[in-house]
Amino acid sequence: MTDFHDVRFPLNLAFGARGGPVRSVDILDLANGAEVRNARGRHSRREYNAAAGIKSREEAIELLHFFESRRGPLHGFRFRDPLDYDAESVLGMGDGRQTEFALTKAYGTEPQDYIRRITKPVEGTVRVRVDDVETSVSVDHVRGIIQVATPPKIGAIISANFEFDVPVRFAAEALDIVLDDFGATEIQNIPLIEILQYEGTSHE
């Protein structure tokens, strides 16, 4: 992503942030009282509000610098979800040829589980196992892809545990900051929205 800056929203400013996944569903009420529901897309999309973490003039200035450096909503960045930031997942099964595997996280249990692509693993946290034996791998921290040196044998289970960030951008084009006479700040809204990156994947 050329419009993505590989930096994390400051953790001290994210303290107290609220938000989580959003599922867009069209719901049609029928005349007989029944309803028809249709998902607008395959994937959920995270939305956050980081306003709670800005309490002082110094923090407001730090936010101002970060906002301007991203050119507002123009460039994306990393955000640590305060609740959902780690995973222990099965990435696939060896076929004797494949060496690259995408990082994913499963929510729920089969057959209703949801498989989410993880594209922004945290550097230094990815641990990969092949049939429960830890294996050295190279990690693409931009795309969330791991590569093993030798193709796992047919039927081998490739699994990983790791921490990850969410790729987001500012969802508003302006910062609305109020500074009182005592140096305290009041910010009602710092909306952040996830940048979905699922092109070319087959995950539902």
41 Cβ contact list (under 8 Å, min separation 6): 24
Residue of 18, 68, 20 lying closest to 177 (CA atoms): 68
Average pLDDT over the chain reads: 90
How does residue 22 score in pLDDT terms, banded at 50, 70 and 90?
very high
pTM for this model (two decimals):
0.87
Instruction: Report pLDDT digits (tens) over 152-188.
Output: 999 999 999 999 999 999 999 998 887 776 656 778 8
Give how far Cα 144 sits from Cα of 32, 58, 76, 121, 127, Å. Answer: 47, 34, 16, 6, 13
**Is residue 147 over pLDDT 60?**
yes
